[in-house]
Amino acid sequence: MSKVVRTSDSENPWSVLIAVAQIPDTGLHRRIEASPPECQALAALGGLREVLSAEASLDLALLRQGRVHVRGRVKARIGQTCVVTLDPIENDIDEAIDLIFAPPEQIPALADLVDDAAENAAEIPDPPEPIVAGTIDLGRLATDALFLAVDPYPRKPDAVFEPPVAPEDPEDHPFAALRSLQRAPGPSDSKKPKGE
């Protein structure tokens, strides 16, 4: 059985570390859930009104040369503000996760392979993520996937943007006052000799 370590800080409030050396050859399944304080910290970090819940279900499989394939989903319910009405709304997140982790010394060579594949194929694979100090942070992985899935311009389903109505009176606009100044005789006009 692999050891799970939970840590957190303001930059990484939902941290669940898995030691790669303790992943069995048959693979490992983990379900993680953010606690209420972690949800509150996630909301602050992501600029969200609130995170009501966040959980991830992940499968880890060992690959050749110390690499690990992590696949699964992150699900969350978040509170945002409608960009049209400014009303509070809630949205559900359901985002797939499919990444390869590799020892740091393999990252440059694997990144080159990804660059080569990008030049020759229509579908570009994701570059591998580094295994840091022999661990993979499942919480951080779930957090990143959650934030990538957040709609930056949330709106209520029935919200319709109505542009401001243009003034009907042509004299009723921001530059109307300038036009009246242009027409009014100034002090220099009275000093001009008659006949000019």
pTM: predicted TM-score of the whole model, two decimal places: 0.71
Residue 84 in 3-state DSSP? coil
Structure-token pair, residue 68: 């690990």
Q: What values do phi and psi take at 141, rounded to 5?
A: -60, -45
Spatial contact of 30 and 65, defined as CB atoms under 8 Å apart: no
Give the tens place of pLDDT for each residue, 30-76: 999 999 999 999 999 999 999 999 999 999 999 999 999 999 999 99
Give the tens place of pLDDT for each residue, 90-125: 999 999 999 999 998 887 776 665 555 555 554 556
Q: What values do phi and psi take at 63, rounded to 5?
A: -115, 180
Q: Where are the beta strands (DSSP E) in the chain?
A: 4-7, 15-19, 28-33, 50-62, 68-81, 88-102, 129-130, 135-137
Cα Rg, the chain, nearest whole Å:
29
